[in-house]
Structure formats: C-alpha cells, structure tokens
Amino acid sequence: MVHRILASRPPRRIVLALITVALCVSAAPAAAGELELALSVGRALPFYEQSFGFDPDDIVPPDIPVETSGGFDLELNGGLALSGALTWRFNDVVGLEARVDSAKVNLEVTGGRVGGDLGDLIPGLPSIPVTGDLSGESVVDRFTPFSLNLQLGFGERTRFVISGGASYMPATTVAATVQVRLGLENIPGIGLPSIGVSAAATLDGGFGVNLGAGLRVPLGDTVSLVFDARAFGFPKQELQWGSGSGASPIEEALAAALDPIEFQYGYFQATGGLAFTF
C-alpha cells in the first residue's frame, strides 16, 4: 500500500526576510567581499523514534487467548553526512550562505513477542505453546535538504560562525514492514504462517529551518579547517499502516489497530572539513 502525503509548509516569508536582510547588508560598505567554498563530512543523528503497542482484543475475538509483550519500535539511526556550502561575505561579519547537505539514515524495527497456546485455540489439543518474534525491514531515501542562510562570523583569525535560515527537503521515500514469525515453542524447525503489516509513502517535499554554529581555523591565507554542528527541522508527516492485497483478516485488523507512523524529518549533524576562500 502506497500513500502520497502532503507536508504542511512554514510561511515562505522566512525566505523573503533572509533575502531582504542580505540585500540591505550588501548595500553597506564591505571590508572584504570574499567568496568561500566549504566541503565537510561527518555523522548525522536523526530525531525520530516511535513506539507501537497493540492489544490482542483488537485483532482476534476476546475469547481466544493471545498474549503480547512490549509491541515494537521504529527508530531512525544516522550514518554518513556530507555538506557543501558556498558563502558570499558582504563584510567581515555578515554573509549569505547557500548550502546542500546529504545524510544517510536507517529506519530500524525492534520489538517484543506474541504468544499463545494451540491447546487453548483448538479444543482437544494438548498444551502446545506458540510464540512469535517481531522483525522488520525498511527503506529510507537519503535526507538532502537545500538551504539559504544568513551567516554571521566573529573573530580575527580563528572565527566563530553561526548561520541559519530556510531549508527545502525534496520528496523522500519511506517504507517499513513489520512481521510476526510464529513457531512452536520447544519444537524447533516447525514454522507457522507469519503475520505482516507495512507502511510506505513518498513524502512530498516541504520547507523547514536549519541552525548551525562552528569554527574556522586558518591553515594559510586561503585555506581553513571548518567544524560545524547543525540541526534541521521539518514538519511531521503521517504514514498509515496497510496489510496489502490478499491479506488475512487478522493482518487487516492489526493494520487498522496500529497508530499511524508520525514520521519526523528532523536531524542533527556534526561535520568537519576544509574551506577555500577566493
């Protein structure tokens, strides 16, 4: 099941305000009109984590004894982050920064257990415990926001720099599948039919914000070491669980009982690299 989700977008006045401020500053006397190209690499740390619980009464009749433990969790884990920024400095303090960032993220599924007894489910059978482990798979596109920022720098040689402004996140594909694999307790090698639900969406692009701070440590007249810590924030978006075509009534009931995924684009990154001044 694939849904296309529309993101709520912050007012575009943020972008217009940044451009207006930059134009006003550029009209002031410039002490240095420098152009800087910065290339960095580091690690991304996403913000998203969500827990899901479900009641057996939501998916099977109340007189059928099925037990659950925990539920399951979805969590974004970060990976390699790459950054490129081009900054025009109108004077020693103020500049306009255009940047692109790209972060690899992984959506992990972890969870609890489901249990029951065939002796309770089927009259006449002896006690045969049944257990199920929850597992999952996921696919998430790289986060690649484009940003236009106002930058402020302070200091003579080693400079402290802060920048922030508006960011645009292109459309991103997110998909997650959760399965309950059933088996007979104490009887290895005998499997029972699994139960699975999935959620997938192409999340439309939308506007957000970013804010960062860092250092510029000169290595020479035109080359500097750069260190940057930056946070990105975008509106939450929802993905609904589905059971797919040809699913069993239990899978359909489980998909309907689960809360939607409230996916959060936001993440933090720490990067370091080189900056070249022209």
The pLDDT of residue 82 is above 70: yes
Which residues fall within 8 angstroms of residue 198, CB to CB, at 6 or more apart? Answer: 1, 175, 176, 177, 178, 241, 242, 243, 244
Contact 133, 162 (CB under 8 A): no
Percent of the chain's residues with pLDDT above 70 = 69
Query: pLDDT-based confidence at 178, cuts 50/70/90?
Result: confident
Which value, in Å, is the radius of gyration of the alpha carbons in the chain?
26
CATH 1.10.260.40 for the 33-277 domain, yes or no? no
pTM of the predicted protein model: 0.77
pLDDT of residue 274 exceeding 80, the answer is: yes
Kindly report, residue by residue over 95-148, the tens digit of the pLDDT: 999 999 999 999 988 876 666 665 665 666 677 676 767 778 888 999 999 999
Percent of the chain with pLDDT over 90: 46
- 111: tokens are 């969870």
Q: Do residues 265 and 238 lie in contact, with contact meaning Cβ atoms separated by under 8 Å?
A: no
- Mean residue pLDDT of the chain comes to 80
Q: Averaged over 11-27, what is the pLDDT?
A: 47
- Hey, what's the torsion of the CAs at 21, 23, 24, 25, to 10 degrees? 90
pLDDT given for residue 189 in this prediction: 57
In the chain, where the domains are located: 33-277
Ranges 31-45, 142-156, 251-265: which has the least confidence: 251-265
Q: What is the enclosing helix (H) or strand (E) of 251?
A: helix 249-257
- Across 50-54, 59-63, 170-174, the highest mean pLDDT is recorded for 170-174
Each residue's pLDDT tens digit, 184-225: 655 555 555 677 889 988 988 899 999 999 999 999 999 999
Which range (13-22, 52-61, 246-255) has the least confidence? Answer: 13-22
